[in-house]
Amino acid sequence: MNGLAFMLPIALGMGLFGLGAFFWALRRGQFSDLDGAAARILIEDDEDVPE
């Protein structure tokens, strides 16, 4: 049962870390343009490619 004293805080800490990361991403506006994020990967970097 002594293991619990370590495992519980570790488990909760990892969960809280994930939650904190989610809130950080939310505040940085990473969820404000989901359509754009999906399309952004298709943007051509080479400008001189003829269309």
Partner 1 sequence: MNAPLRVDAYGAVKASLSHTTLAVPGMHCAGCMGKVERALAALGGVASARTNLTARTVEVVHEAQVGLPALVAALGAIGFEAQLREAEAAPVSAVRPLLAPLGVAAFACMNVMLLSVSVWSGAEGSTRQLFHWISALIAVPAIVYAGRPFFASALKVLRHGKTNMDVPISIGVVIATALSFYETLTGGAEAWFDGVLMLLMFLLAGRVLDAMMRDRARSGVDALLRQAASGAMVIAADGQARWVEAKALHPGMVMRVAAGERLAADGEVVRGTTRFDQSLLTGESAPVQAGPGAQVHAGTLNADAPVDVRVSAAGQDTALAEIARLMDVAGQSRSRYVRIADRASRLYAPAVHTLAALTFAGWMLAGAGVYHALVVAIAVLIITCPCALGLAVPVAQVVAAGALMKRGVLVKDGSALERMAAVDRLLLDKTGTLTVGRPVPDEAALDVLPDAEAAVALALASHSRHPLSLGLARALAQRGVRAAVLEDVSEVPGKGVTARWNGIAVALGRPLSAYGMATALRVEGGPVRVIPFADALRPDTDAALAQLAAMGVQASILSGDAAPAVATVARATGLTAQAAASPAEKQAAIERLMDSGRTVLMAGDGLNDGPALAAANASIAPGSASDVGRQAADMVFTGESLLAIPRAITVARKTMRVVRQNFALAIGYNLLAVPLAMAGQVTPLIAAIAMSTSSLVVVANSLRLAGAAR
How many whole angstroms separate alpha carbon 40 and alpha carbon 34?
10
Site for partner 1 contains 13 (CB under 8 A) = no
- Spatial neighbors of 37 by CB under 8 A, at least 6 apart, are 30
Report the residue from 6, 28, 47, 48 that binds partner 1 according to the rule CB under 8 A.
Answer: 47
Of 17-36, binders to partner 1 (CB under 8 A) are 18-19, 22-23, 26, 31-36
How many whole angstroms separate alpha carbon 18 and alpha carbon 8?
16
Interface with partner 1 (CB under 8 A) = 1, 4, 8, 11-12, 15-16, 18-19, 22-23, 26, 31-36, 39-45, 47
